[in-house]
Every structure is written in C-alpha cells, then in structure tokens.
Structure 1
Amino acid sequence: MSCSRRYLVLFNVWTMGVLLIALLITTPILLICASVFVNTGELWQHLAKTVLSEYITNASILMIGVGLGVFLTGVGTAWLVTRCQFYGSNFLEWALLLPLATPAYILAYTYTHLLDFFGPIQTTLRSLFGWTNINDYWFPDIRNIWGAIIMLTLALYPYVYLLVRVAFMEQAGRLVEASRSLGYDPWSSFFKVALPLARPAIASGVILVLMETLGDFGTVEYFGVTTFTTGIYRTWFGMGDRLAATQLSVVLLLFIAVLIVLERLSRRQAQYYELVSSSEPPPRYQLSGIRAIVAFLICILPLILGFIIPVSYLSYLTGTNAEYTLTESFWEIAQNSLILGGISAILACAIALFLGYGQRQSKSLLLNIGVRVASMGYAIPGTVIAVGILIPLTQLDQHIDHWMRSTFGIPIGLVMSGTITALIFAYLVRFLAVSFNSIESSLIKIKPSLDEAARSLGNNLFSTLLRVHLPLIWGGSLTGIMLVFVDVIKELPATLIIRPFNFDTLAIKTYEYASDERFIQATTPALTIILVGIIPVIFLSWRIKVSRDY
C-alpha cells in the first residue's frame, strides 16, 4: 500500500473516530430533547400550572441581577486597572481574578454562617450594644434571591473582567489620544470610545456568566430559590418522575440555546471593531488624592468580598477546629476527588487532542461539525447532563439485569448508572470543551509547513503528532489538564446526581455538611476546593503580569 493510500485510510478512520466521539458526547443532550415527544401524564401538566412560571421568573430575575452585577463590576474594575494609574493598580490587575477560585455555593455557605444570628458578626453586635434578641435590631437576611445574586456576582465577575481587560488593552493608544484631543475627559472617553469598542467582549463575558447562573445548583438550593436546576433535582428524586425532569431540562436548554446564539452573534460583531495594531500602548490616567482612593476602594471591594474574607474565615475555622475537620474521612474524600479529577482531566485532554488534530488535518465540513458538536457541552448545566446520562444508562442496566436473570438466574443490579464510569462520562461531556479550547489554541500557532515536512519524511498522522506536534503543544495540553481537573473538583450537581452510593467528593461533603448546618465540618473541604482552584488563577495572573510588563 502506497504512503498516500495509507494516509487516506488512516484519515478516514480518524474522521469516523471524531464523529463517534461527537455522537457519544451529544447523546445525553439529544435524549433530553427527544423527551418533548413523550407523554409524561398529569405530573408535567401539574408542574406547568404550578411551578413552571416561578422557575422562569426566578431564572429571569437571577439573569438580570447577576448580568447587571458582573457588568458593573467587571467592566468598571477592568477600566480602572488598565487605563488608570493609582496606588495598588498593578497588584489589583491580577489579584481581581482570585475570586474565580471560590465557587458561588461556597461563598453562600460562608456568608450565611458569618451573618447568621449565631454568627460572629451578629454575636459581636449584640454584645456591644446589649441587644438580646432579633426584635431589638434589624439585620439583613441573605438567604433569598437577592443574596444569591450577590454571591453569583462575586464569584463570576472575573469572567467579564478577564475578557474586557484584554479588549481595553488591545485598543490602539492613538484612538484614546484622539478623543482627548477632541476635549474628552476620562469619563467621556470611556463611554464614547472605549466602551463601544469593547462591546463584543462585554457581551461574550456576560453571556458566559448567564450560562453559569442558569446552571448553578448549590447556591440557589441553599438559599431556597426555586429555579430549573432545583426543580429538575426535586422532580427526579422527590417525585420520582424522570420524564418530567427531562422536560424541565428541555425548557432550561431553550434558555441556554438563546444565550449561545447571542454569544455567537457577539463574536461575529467583533470583526467590525478590529483596529489596526499599534505598538503604542493606551495611555494611563494618573489618579491622585480622593480619585485614587475611590478607584482603589472600587477595585479592592470585590476582591475582599469574593476572596479574602471567605478564605480567611475558612482558614481560621479549619485551623481552630482541626480535630473535627482534618479527619480520616476528609483524606478519603480528598482522594476520591483527586482520582476523579485526574482521570477525567487526562481523558479529556486525550480526546481533545484527537479532535483538535483531526480538525487541523482536514477542512472537511462533516469533521468540523463533529468537532464543534463534541465541544459544546460546557454550555449545558451539570444537572441537565446528569439527567441525560442516567436515563439511557438506567434502561441499559435494566435490560442487562433482566437478561442475566432470565439466562443465568443471576441478578447483577447496576452496572453502568450510578458508577464512577458514568460520573467520568458526565465530566467529559461537561468539560471536554475546556481542554479542547486550550489544545486548539496551541495547535493554531504551529505552522502548516511542519506537517508537510514531517509527511515528506515518511511520517503518518500518528507519528507526526507524537514527534512534532505534541512537544510543541505541551504547554497548552498541561493547561487543559489543569483546568479540567479544577472544574471536576468544583462540580456539584452532576456529581450529586450520578455519584455511586457512599462515594463522596469534596464538593459533595461541603454541600452535605452545609445543608445539615454543620459548617465547621464543611470548612476543610470548602477551603481545599478554593486552594485547588487557585492553581489556574495563579497561572492566569502570571500571564497578566507578563503581558503588562511586556
């Protein structure tokens, strides 16, 4: 067989592999969508008449509130640290990413304990002013939808900040100088020049945050806010109706689909705002006096609320209650999380490498569609993915068990559903896009001439990948592994629904302890999740510092 023929056969096998992966990844989502055509009886009609409007209302309020919160926080802080010079601005430029390491549900647990009637803040106030009960004073209650908006805003604003900061830095300095020559002060320059040019980045960041908001489970469930994620969970486990839960998932997917379309449109608009590159960096306004103080306070506040206070409080409680927190059970659940995160991250990186390299070698429309479909899972909430995976796996288990009983008289129970295999599959569906984006960005930087040179020396696709590309994209692959590992450690709803019996992770134990009002025991797993999440944040912060110094 000639070299070109071997190459063609190998490429066809590669294409079939990409399409098979895309089919496996999208199967849970397709099954969810197919449930629209199944009659679920009176339960769905009851849900539609009673709670569906409440789910839609609460989801809309959350999206509006969180969207406005991350817009003001992310855009405001990005503008101040990139275009203004004041005391602490260089430190804040990378430190503002640190709240990315704190999941919203951990913020919810921490602030509830801090602000509770028996928490340290109210206890201190009562001792200072001689108050004896709640009737003597008023104190805000955060366990409601407005508290959920604040927690989600503090945890998610870095998504907007990161994208908008890059957009502000890439704007040519001469445009800002031109606006200043026309008599624009910094405020006018911001609203009339910088903000319109950064609109695509702002839209992408806000829409990404809204997707995360719709998929949140831990925060809204703990605060008693009924949304689609909590409704799906309660319909599945509380009412025992899986089909009704899938149809609720379809409604949630409609919200997600609208956001995806809007995000794609915002990216398309970005081409109309590209500027001619300029080596001259944008000028920075020198702030002093009261303006510098106000700018510093605006930037430091989300950092304090979203990272410093929760980490400090969790660290204090963990250290002072080590005999209750650093137990053998903690090390066991930490090991479980480590195993799940490590296996999922390595598999996700390997599959993403397979997809990305296949896309690089061909411009086939079919293959490109397969790659894009396989990497769309990150937009789907973990609750929806869990439902879409458990339904077919449960049916498969039932068929296998029935066959084993009728053939050999041996009941085998659950083989696939409720196992680590199913859980890892859910993680791959959810987070494959994370590793794929990292590897794709690294592959794009490699010149096509290297592929042609390797092929002329007799290398096939596999040998070219192993000998040429893999050493060059090692950094991107490591980044993808790291990001997926951290996301798996933090993932709550999919783990909560699919995990095997008596198999706990850091996120599960944090949720269970907090739900049982045993916050002291929850501090160590919660703090560990944050410390693990700091790893990619430090990497991003380092990249920001390097880009600024450069």
Structure 2
Amino acid sequence: MSASKSVAGPSVVSHAGRSGRNWLALSAIAALIVVLPVAGLALEALKGSTGLWAHLFSSVLPVALRDTVILLVGVGLLTAVLGTTTAWLVTAYDFPGRRLLEWALLLPLAVPTYIIAYAYLDILHPIGSVQGAIRWVLGYESPRQFRLPDIRSMIGCILLLGFVLYPYVYIPTRAMFITQSGNLIDAARTLGISRRAVFWRVALPLARPAVAVGIALALMETLNDVGAAEFLGVRTMTVSIYTTWITRTDLPGASQIALALLLIVVGLVAVERWARRKQRYATDARRSRGLKPQKVSAVNGMLLLFMGSVPILLGFVAPALYLTTEAWKRYQFAGVSPRLLNEAISTITIATLATVVTISLGLVVAYATRLRPGKASATLLRLSTVGYAAPGTVVAIGVLIVLAGFDRFIDRTALDWCGISTGLLFMGSGAAVVYALTVRFLAISAGGIEAGLSRIPMSLDHASRTLGQSPAGTFRHVHLPLSKAAISAAALLVFVDCIKELPATLLLRPLNVETFATHLYGEAARGTYEEASIAALAIVAISVLPVILLSRIGTAGRSVAADR
C-alpha cells in the first residue's frame, strides 16, 4: 500500500503541474486577446504623419483636453459629494424610509448616461412641460420672456453625469462605513466630538480608499461616454475620436487621439493607486461592533429622507417616468414598431454571445490564477482586465485595426489559393462587436469569478486530487458547482453592460444592424425623441437587474456587520 502511494503521489503532482501549465497558457491567450487591440492602436497611431500630430496639437487636442479635464473634475467632485453624503446618511442615522433609501440610491445605475441626456433634453426643452409650468407660475407667456439656462452646456453635462454615476462612490463608501468599528465612533464621542464632526474627523478619513476607488470608476465611465457629451455639446476627447473617425474618415488621427486618451486613463489609475498607497485599516473583528445608526426626530427624519431622495428623483425617477409616458404615447399612436423586434433580437444575440465568450475567458483566467498562483498568473490577470479601463471608442478602434488586418489576410489568402474573395469576414458578421465587448468587460468576468473561487478552501482541491480527479475534473465537479452564484452574478453584470454599451456597438456594428442603444442614439441625434422612448425604456428595465443584485449584496453585507 505504501509503495502504491509513493508511486501515485508524484504522478498526481506531475499531472497537476502539466495541467496547471496548460491553464496558464490558455490564460496567456486570453490576455493576448485583450492586449492585441492596444498594440494595434499604437501601431496605427504611428502611421500618422508629423503634420497630422501638429494639426491635432494645434486645433483638436487643446479643446478636447480642456473639456475632458473640466468634465472629469466636475463629475469627480459631484459624485464624491453625493456618494459620500448619501452613504453616511443611510449608515449613521435611523429614520423612517431609511431601508428603502438604502437600495433606491442604487437605481440611477440603471440609467445609462446617454439615456439620461436623451431624457432631460426633452424634459427641460424651452417649450416643454417643465419650463411651461414654471412660466405659468411666474406669469410669463413665451420662452422669449423667460427660459432656464440651456442644458446643452458643460454644467448641464456635469450635473446629469454626476446624478447618474454617484452610486459608484456610494456603494464602496457605504460598505466601508458599515464595516467601520462603532468603538472608534464611541471613543470620538466621549472626547466631545459631535456626530457631524465624527464624519469629517473619523469616518471620512477611514473611508478615503473606498471614496477614491468609487471616484476612479465614475471617471472611467465619464471617459467612456460618447452619447451624453455629444448630445449636450461637450467636445470631449471621446467625442473627438468618434468625429475624427466617422466624420473625417481619419483612422490614424482617431488612433492618435485614442492613444492620448488611453494615457489619461493610465494616469487616472496611477493617481488613484498613489492616493491610497499608504492607507491601512485594521480592526479586531472579535471585539468590534458595527456602527449603530442614531435615531433622529420625526422632523429631522423627514428632512433626511428628502435629502436622500433628491438624487433618486433626478437620476432615476424623472427620466424613468418620462420614458414610460413617452413610450405609452408612442404605443397608443402607432403601436410597437416592427423595427423594435429586430433590434431586440440583435441586442440580445450580441449581448448573449459576448457574455458567453467573456465568461468562458474569465473562467480560464481565474482558474489559472488558482492553479498556478504567482507573478505570472497575477500579471496575466492584470493584462486581461486592462480593457475595462479603456473607453469603448478606444477599444473599438483597436479591434477594428486588428480584425481588419485579419480580414485582409484571409481574403488575400483565399484569393491566392482558391480564387474567391471572403470579403469582410469578421467586420461584416458582428464578430468585431462581440470581440470589443469581450475586451471591455473581461475584467468583470475574471474579477467576479476569481473572487468566487477564492472563497473555496484549497482543502477541497487536495481532497479531489487524492480521489483521482484531474484539475479539469476538479474544476467541473467541485469549483463550478460551488461558484455558481459568482459566475451567475458576473454573467448578469456582463450581459447588462453589453446591452447598455454604446460607443463600441455604434462604431463596429455591421451595416443595417441596429441595437436598442444605437437606435436611441440615432433618434436622439435627429431630435425625434418619442421614436426611441420604447427602446430606452427597455434598456432601463433590463439594467434594473444588476441593481437588484447589488441591493441584495448590500443587505447581506449589513447583516454580517450587524452579527458582529
């Protein structure tokens, strides 16, 4: 018996090592798939002449860079203020409606940035119902006598994006507040510090890493936006990439602007990590207790409920009501357009294919990290997630360059060998859109699945191996069943993000193929808002799904903190 064990032991280890190397090789392929568009973008940018760079630096980049920086600063400040104050409000105070407010503050995440711009352009139109009601109250008769400032402005863009993106700060900051030790708060109160001062001197400094992460995510979404900025007349670098490529048909110029934007993104990530490089927080979970909300009077409770409801009303309720009303009007007038059925099929098909590919690659990358922990697997994990930091327009240009090259190679080879032309095999089939969405959202898949796998004890892997299972068998019979929740959550988030994604889909979709997002963009660009209301409402309705998931996770987090 001992002899058989001595023989079997090394063979199992050797088999596990070979299998681990195979998974690592597959992870390297996944990372290469993500990195290729960035490399293609850099090569295409080098094709631009020196005169083109001079033109960009003199006329395009100064305006685009100025507007981008102003927009980022404004959105960063607004999301920081809204996210941290609402997180503290629902964590530190107990008032009627607080439980409802906790998850309702997530709802603006269900409204993509281009949809809120689309909605408010009509809601706040000079001859619309809102401004008409204001003029009626004030005794004016026409827009010439009184009108609100035009929402098509930098301030309008900052406000709208801020009220949609603040949940990126609210979610991690609230989680940090919940897990903060109540003992620290009590110690501060015994030293004579008021509840308001506790926020500034204790809670907020401890939560700075979470606030920094949330702001960074909000700014990434701001850089990815093309619809809202274009609708509102803000010429960001993302909009400049789109117009340079589509309007001027200048791919090298668009690649150079995209490369400059990518450097800004890298700089944002570096600044965010530098800002929290020395942040450390430790607590004894056995002796500490969670922060207990303070009960307030009825009047103060109503005031806090109103304050917490304002971001929800502006960021979700108002646009959702507008879309519902306009969709109902459109349905009563002309029913449901046959176009919507085709767009729904295209939207769901593209999102489903991209989700399957993204989750499959995410499983490979996450499992390789578990089998072969070390610098190599960690580096491949980071490389496979860099696409999420790149705006959709940047990824789209990189994907176009790579797949267009493959299309030309295959077409030339087919002509030489078979005498037939394959045409745009990748670019004309929708594969480019699926590829771009995979690059963009592989970070969500790999990160979510890796987190789920990390909760499974390594002892189960060892037990499975001693029973004769290979790493692939252990993956099928142990890890997949135990990480179903994490995989399902990642798949849901990826699917919804694919449906909402506008820049990559707008730039890479095949001819005569429309999705909900591209249909809405086209109608809003033409000013026919009522035509796209049903598509916009469908996107918002689907986007509520991850919000429900996040609210359940938040409730679970509070329960764990309370149990401590």
Shorter-chain-normalised TM-score: which range? over 0.9
Counterpart residue identity of residue 326, structure 2? L
- Once the two structures are TM-superposed, the CA of residue 35 in structure 1 deviates from its matched residue by 4.2
Counterpart residue number, 2:101: 92
Counterpart residue number, 1:275: 283
Summarize deviations over 1:311-347 as a string: whole Å, max 9, x none: 1111111112204362211111011111111121122
Retained in 2: the 8 A contact 1:69–1:153? yes
Counterpart residue number, 2:3: none
Counterpart residue number, 1:250: 259
The partner residue of 2:444 within 414, 431, 434 is: 434
Retained in 2: the 8 A contact 1:341–1:485? yes
Counterpart residue number, 1:412: 422
Query: Do residues 528 (structure 1) and 534 (structure 2) align?
Result: no
Counterpart residue number, 1:74: 83
Q: CA 1:439–1:408 in 2, change beyond 3 Å: closer, same or farther?
A: closer
Counterpart residue number, 1:148: 157
Q: CA 1:12–1:543 in 2, change beyond 3 Å: closer, same or farther?
A: closer
- Once the two structures are TM-superposed, the CA of residue 542 in structure 1 deviates from its matched residue by 2.0
Query: Do residues 504 (structure 1) and 504 (structure 2) align?
Result: no
| Structure 2 Cα separation of the partners of residues 152 and 315 of structure 1 | 21
Summarize deviations over 1:387-423 as a string: whole Å, max 9, x none: 0010122233233334444555433321112431111
Query: Do residues 57 (structure 1) and 56 (structure 2) align?
Result: no
The partner residue of 1:224 within 233, 240, 250 is: 233
The total of aligned residue pairs comes to: 549
| Structure 2 Cα separation of the partners of residues 225 and 537 of structure 1 | 29
Matches within 5 A, 1:372-451: 372-405=382-415, 408-451=418-461
Matches within 5 A, 1:158-237: 158-237=167-246
| Structure 2 Cα separation of the partners of residues 186 and 160 of structure 1 | 22
SS of 1:117's partner is coil
Query: Do residues 456 (structure 1) and 466 (structure 2) align?
Result: yes
Greater Cα shift, 29-38 or 314-323: 29-38
- Once the two structures are TM-superposed, the CA of residue 372 in structure 1 deviates from its matched residue by 1.5
Retained in 2: the 8 A contact 1:40–1:244? no
Retained in 2: the 8 A contact 1:82–1:169? yes
Query: Do residues 547 (structure 1) and 557 (structure 2) align?
Result: yes
Retained in 1: the 8 A contact 2:41–2:401? no
Summarize deviations over 1:292-324 as a string: whole Å, max 9, x none: 233222100000111111111111111122043
SS of 2:126's partner is coil
The partner residue of 1:102 within 87, 111, 123 is: 111
| Structure 2 Cα separation of the partners of residues 126 and 192 of structure 1 | 45
Greater Cα shift, 372-381 or 413-422: 413-422
Counterpart residue identity of residue 392, structure 1? V
Taking only aligned residues, the RMSD between alpha carbons, in angstroms, comes to 1.8
SS of 2:527's partner is coil
| Structure 2 Cα separation of the partners of residues 199 and 174 of structure 1 | 19
- Once the two structures are TM-superposed, the CA of residue 539 in structure 1 deviates from its matched residue by 1.3
Retained in 1: the 8 A contact 2:48–2:253? no
| Structure 1 Cα separation of the partners of residues 383 and 521 of structure 2 | 32
Counterpart residue identity of residue 391, structure 2? P
| Structure 1 Cα separation of the partners of residues 522 and 413 of structure 2 | 37
Query: Do residues 121 (structure 1) and 130 (structure 2) align?
Result: yes
Summarize deviations over 1:20-65 as a string: whole Å, max 9, x none: 1111111111222344543435333212101211111101110110
| Structure 2 Cα separation of the partners of residues 418 and 233 of structure 1 | 20
Structure 2: gaps spanning 5 or more residues: 1-7
Retained in 2: the 8 A contact 1:324–1:521? no
Summarize deviations over 1:482-518 as a string: whole Å, max 9, x none: 0000000000000000000011111111111111111
| Structure 2 Cα separation of the partners of residues 145 and 114 of structure 1 | 18
Retained in 2: the 8 A contact 1:204–1:266? no
The partner residue of 1:519 within 522, 525, 529 is: 529
Summarize deviations over 1:244-298 as a string: whole Å, max 9, x none: 111101110111001111233355444x122222452212222225432332221
Greater Cα shift, 49-58 or 409-418: 409-418
| Structure 2 Cα separation of the partners of residues 122 and 302 of structure 1 | 20
Counterpart residue number, 2:4: none
Counterpart residue identity of residue 37, structure 2? P
Counterpart residue identity of residue 198, structure 1? A
Counterpart residue number, 2:37: 28
Query: Do residues 46 (structure 1) and 55 (structure 2) align?
Result: yes
Counterpart residue number, 2:295: 286
SS of 1:212's partner is helix
Summarize deviations over 1:117-138 as a string: whole Å, max 9, x none: 2322233445566644322113
Summarize deviations over 1:357-396 as a string: whole Å, max 9, x none: 1100112322221122112211110000000010122233
Matches within 5 A, 1:483-498: 483-498=493-508
Retained in 2: the 8 A contact 1:507–1:525? yes
Summarize deviations over 1:159-180 as a string: whole Å, max 9, x none: 1000000111111001100111
Retained in 2: the 8 A contact 1:419–1:498? no
The partner residue of 2:343 within 300, 323, 333 is: 333
Greater Cα shift, 413-422 or 201-210: 413-422
Greater Cα shift, 255-264 or 449-458: 255-264
The partner residue of 1:351 within 352, 356, 361 is: 361
TM-score (norm 2): 0.94
| Structure 2 Cα separation of the partners of residues 119 and 299 of structure 1 | 27
| Structure 1 Cα separation of the partners of residues 276 and 365 of structure 2 | 22
- Once the two structures are TM-superposed, the CA of residue 540 in structure 1 deviates from its matched residue by 1.2
Q: CA 1:102–1:469 in 2, change beyond 3 Å: closer, same or farther?
A: same
| Structure 2 Cα separation of the partners of residues 369 and 432 of structure 1 | 15
Counterpart residue number, 2:322: 313
Retained in 2: the 8 A contact 1:314–1:524? yes
Retained in 2: the 8 A contact 1:325–1:523? no
Counterpart residue identity of residue 473, structure 2? S
Greater Cα shift, 526-535 or 404-413: 404-413
TM-score (norm 1): 0.96
Q: CA 1:289–1:360 in 2, change beyond 3 Å: closer, same or farther?
A: same
Greater Cα shift, 123-132 or 364-373: 123-132
Retained in 2: the 8 A contact 1:318–1:325? no
| Structure 1 Cα separation of the partners of residues 410 and 301 of structure 2 | 68
Counterpart residue number, 1:472: 482
The partner residue of 1:8 within 17, 29, 40 is: 17
